[in-house]
Structure 1
């Protein structure tokens, strides 16, 4: 059951900037598709348009090949999970799960069986008699998932579902969601600004910027082959260096990287360099040379060390070095090092951050 969005536009104020502008993409059937982007990119508005909670100014939404643009939300066959859980505080877990089924006038025996099935699916069989206030944040979010799935939706929409949880619980629920998806196979659209979350659990990613699609494709394409400077800067925590093409190579700062094949001699370029794509080498005493960089700052973070390099040109580059590799390197703040760029994404023209 796929979702096709065609030229969708939504403007909330007359004459203002559209929250969603001419957005088109295809969410594959049975996959998790993530809408990824910074705050204000239009992710949640787009999800609400797909859900039928907002009506577009133009464009259309098709679910399973059926034009649902003007179909009421109750008739779209979707389940929605919000960051706020939206559970009824005065109802037990079982009553929350049964609510949507009761409004559909299903037989009581069928409702009981479905609630039991959902409790088992989200591994909360022993907590059916508790109220939301007696559950942890992670447990409440699993109840929200179960309630959305209880109606057997053909499409599951998730709006920042892990945003209110601490980092440890977020990681646990990401793994749980992957397992849940493998068991249910329901087509899922997830909204998040967390790129690690998007890259880890998605089969398809749509990157949004200022209400438009910047790039859409498999996670590995988004990360390894960013199509625009925005995608390259947003995904991966890159440093940006400017330079020019010389003898078929891009010279940026004091570093040299591959230039685009279409680049002309002397043409301006800008390179996006990810922290883990730089290898540091400590030169021998007296062998620093004019291209050596200075270690401005060191910060151990778990299993790696964040290093801020100052190039001879005055530009800065952020580097992440595995802890064991850094210990073998034997450098301290103020030392000189040589930086070797393993990989960079280079675009033609000037770039303004």
Structure 2
């Protein structure tokens, strides 16, 4: 079941800035599509529009080719999971999972069989008698998934489902969601601000900014071929360096990279350089063939790599991530000089506000 959003706009005040504006995208059938962006980008509003919890001012929403724009929630065949779980505290796990089926007047035998099936699916077979307050956060979120899936939805809508969980549990549930999707094959729309989450478990990503779609495509395309300066800066934690085209190269902050095909001599450019795309080495002159000698402002070991804040001769600062073994081999400390070499960068002609 594909989800198609066509030119959807939604305002919450008559003259206010739209929460979503002229949004169009398609969530492919059987895939996990992530709505990715910073807070206030319009992601959750868009999910609520697809769910039928909000109605667009203009545009339309189709699920499996059927126009659902003004269809009641109950008729859309969607299962929704929220960050807050939204479980009934006074009901047991079994009763929570059964709730949607009972509202739809399923028989007692059908309800019991389906609840048993869902408990097995989310691996909580022995916890059906417990109340939500007796479960961990990860277990409560699995119950929320089971309740959403119990009604056999056509599509699954997830609004920051792991946002309230600690890092380890969040990582475990990402893998669990991937396995769940492999078993169910449900078309899924996931709202998240976590880049790693979106790139790791999605087959399709819609990057949003200011209520609009900035870029849509595969995780590989979003990461390696950002279409706009915003996407280039948002995905991957890139440093932004400004410069201009000189003698067929992009010169910026004492560094240089290949020039874009459309750039002309003297044009202003912005280069987005990710932390792992700069190679550090022992110093060798101040500026030779695109290399620059910078100064280590500070560094911090983070797991298997070291995060280095490097100040370039121009005064610009860039963040560099270096494998711990490579950093140790450099033998440098704060205040020392190192040579920086940009391995790759995403370059846009012009000077844009990010």
Question: CA separation in 1, counterparts of 2:353 and 2:47?
Answer: 31
SS at match of 1:216: strand
What residue number does 1:117 align with? Answer: 117
SS at match of 1:295: strand
SS at match of 1:196: helix
Question: CA separation in 2, counterparts of 1:351 and 1:296?
Answer: 27
Question: TM-score under structure 2 normalisation?
Answer: 0.98
Q: Please show how residues 1-353 of structure 1 align to structure 2 within 5 Å.
A: 1-283=1-283, 287-290=284-287, 291-353=292-354
SS at match of 1:292: strand
**8 Å Cα contact 1:2/1:65 also seen in 2:** yes
Q: Cα RMSD over matched residues?
A: 0.8
CA displacement, residues 53-102 of structure 1 (integer Å, 9 cap, x when unaligned): 00000000000000000110000000000000000101110111111111
Question: CA separation in 2, counterparts of 1:104 and 1:35?
Answer: 30
CA displacement, residues 76-132 of structure 1 (integer Å, 9 cap, x when unaligned): 000000000000101110111111111111111111110010000000001011000
Question: CA separation in 2, counterparts of 1:16 and 1:97?
Answer: 39
Question: CA separation in 1, counterparts of 2:293 and 2:279?
Answer: 13
Shift, 1:352, TM fit: 3.8
Question: TM-score under structure 1 normalisation?
Answer: 0.98
SS at match of 1:314: coil
**8 Å Cα contact 1:288/1:336 also seen in 2:** no
Shift, 1:214, TM fit: 0.3
Question: CA separation in 2, counterparts of 1:117 and 1:200?
Answer: 28
Question: CA separation in 1, counterparts of 2:352 and 2:205?
Answer: 25
**8 Å Cα contact 1:198/1:205 also seen in 2:** yes
SS at match of 1:143: helix
Q: Which runs of 4+ in 1 moved over 4 A?
A: none
CA displacement, residues 185-210 of structure 1 (integer Å, 9 cap, x when unaligned): 00000001111110000000000100
Instruction: Provide structure 2 residue ranges, at least 5 long, that are not aligned to the other structure.
Output: none
Shift, 1:234, TM fit: 0.6
CA displacement, residues 283-339 of structure 1 (integer Å, 9 cap, x when unaligned): 2xxx44353111111111111100011000000010000111111121111111111
